[in-house]
Amino acid sequence: MKWIKQIYDCFLAYKLWFLMLISTNLLFIFLAWLAYPETFKVLVGLMIVFTLAMISLSVFVIIRKQQIIEAAFQDFLLEANETNEEKLCRVSPKTHWSFIRRMGSVIRLNHAELNRQVIELADYENYIEGWVHEIKKPLSLMTLVLDNRSDEMSPLVRQRMLHIRDQMLGDVERILYFARLGAAHKDYIFESINLLAFCKQTIEDHQTLLDESGFQIQFIGEEMEIFSDRKGLAFILEQIIANSTKHVAHNQDFPILKFETVYDKVSGKTVLHISDNGPGVSEEDLPFIFDKGFTGRRGTYTRQATGMGLFLVSKMAYDLAIQLDAKSELGSGLTISLIFPHVKQ
């Protein structure tokens, strides 16, 4: 069927020339009828055979030339260097040469710009990776001082130093995970996890962050077992905790962070609701809080937002097959639900 389409395309592309050829032959047939009525049938037969032969030969030559042009154009698209440009010009009509050369020049300029940007991006990634490794050294030194020289600090100074260290560690974790987003392989290890116990352990690891904001922690529900990656799940919880502490309302008296486990009998899935009583999110902003770079349009909730924490949460949740849901009203807090997949063991 391919050759039928090629013939149809050929007639469609050169229909004007074929119509002129047929019209010319009709004129000669009329003249032959006037001049040679006794041999009219013979002359008409010869003209029709000659016309069909010329049309068939023309279609064959056009299709063959088109295939040669397509092959040269394919090579030109794959590598738009000057050699392939000249090959394409040689097989193309001369009226197209100026367009081909202009197109080659534009493609080569775009390739050069793209290569320059790729090199700059690689340099930037190398710089960020190097910076992350460098920042770990002062963080380790800070941890060493806090562990061994805590008696030389007042409790308030020590708490503030721990708070700053945990914030910096959280920022470094976000950068590292963001750098891993484009990686083809990720080293997730799925295993059985006691959900409430895991939440309590994560809270202990970030107690200074919560203490600095004066959060009270509540755990509701029964212990439930889920199947997930510990590092990935810890990253999700840390980002949600950091999000709540970052957006705690100014002069809020009793900030609360609540972890509640629920078993959904209908779907057979375990759900973890994480709720705060902060400023909440407006109705028009709520559908976009997991979007990259989204910082909201109004309300105190978005005042310090960078738009990256919950975006990274959504990416990690996708990797771990955890479904996310968010509910909120402005001034009534935010609830983020983690719906874990049902896994047969």
Q: Evaluate if residue 302 carries a pLDDT over 60.
A: no
Euclidean distance between CA atoms 19 and 5, whole angstroms: 19
Backbone angles phi, psi at 267, to 5 degrees: -90, -15
Closest residue by Cα to residue 231 from 184, 182, 271, 191: 191
**Mean predicted lDDT score pLDDT of the chain:** 85
The 10s digit of each residue's pLDDT in 124-152 is 878 887 888 788 788 888 888 887 887 88
Output the DSSP codes for 263-304. EETTTTEEEEEEEE-SS---TTTGGGTTSTT---SSSGGGTT
What pLDDT digit, counting tens, does each position of 226-236 carry?
A: 999 998 999 99
Q: What is the pLDDT of residue 184?
A: 57
Q: Please determine, for residue 253, whether its predicted confidence score (pLDDT) is greater than 80.
A: no
pLDDT digits (tens, 9 = 90+) for 17-30: 888 888 888 888 88
pLDDT attached to residue 183: 63
Higher pLDDT, 275 or 51: 275
pLDDT at 261 over 90: yes
Asked if the model's pLDDT at residue 259 lies above 90, the reply is yes
275-285 burial, b at 16+ Cβ within 10 Å, e below that, comes to: bbbbbbbbeeb
Q: Which of 135-144, 165-174, 179-188 has the lowest mean pLDDT?
A: 179-188
289-296 average pLDDT score: 78
Q: Tell me what pLDDT residue 258 has.
A: 93
The yes-or-no verdict on residue 90 having pLDDT over 70 is: yes
300 has pLDDT over 50: no
Helix or strand holding residue 219 (H, E): strand 216-220
pLDDT computed for residue 179 by the predictor: 74
Cβ proximity of 213 and 253 under 8 Å: no
Residue 61 has pLDDT above 80, yes or no: yes
Q: Which one has a higher pLDDT value, 252 or 69? A: 69
173 and 238 Cβ atoms separated by less than 8 Å: yes
pTM over 0.85: no
Mean pLDDT of 181-186: 65
Query: Please, which pLDDT band fits residue 193 given cuts at 50, 70 and 90?
Result: very high
Q: In the predicted model, is pLDDT for residue 112 greater than 80?
A: yes
d(CA 38, CA 35): 9
Looking at the predicted structure, is the pLDDT value of residue 304 above 60?
Answer: no
pLDDT score for 3: 75
Specify which residues 228 forms β-bridges with: 191
> What's the pLDDT at 345?
63
**Quick one: average pLDDT of 109-136?**
86
pLDDT at 185 exceeding the cut of 70: no
CB count within 10 Å of CB 130 equals 10
> How would residue 199 be classed by pLDDT, with cut points 50, 70 and 90?
very high
**Average pLDDT for 243-272:** 84
Pick the CATH number of 190-340 from 3.90.1150.10, 3.30.565.10, 3.40.50.280, 3.40.309.10: 3.30.565.10
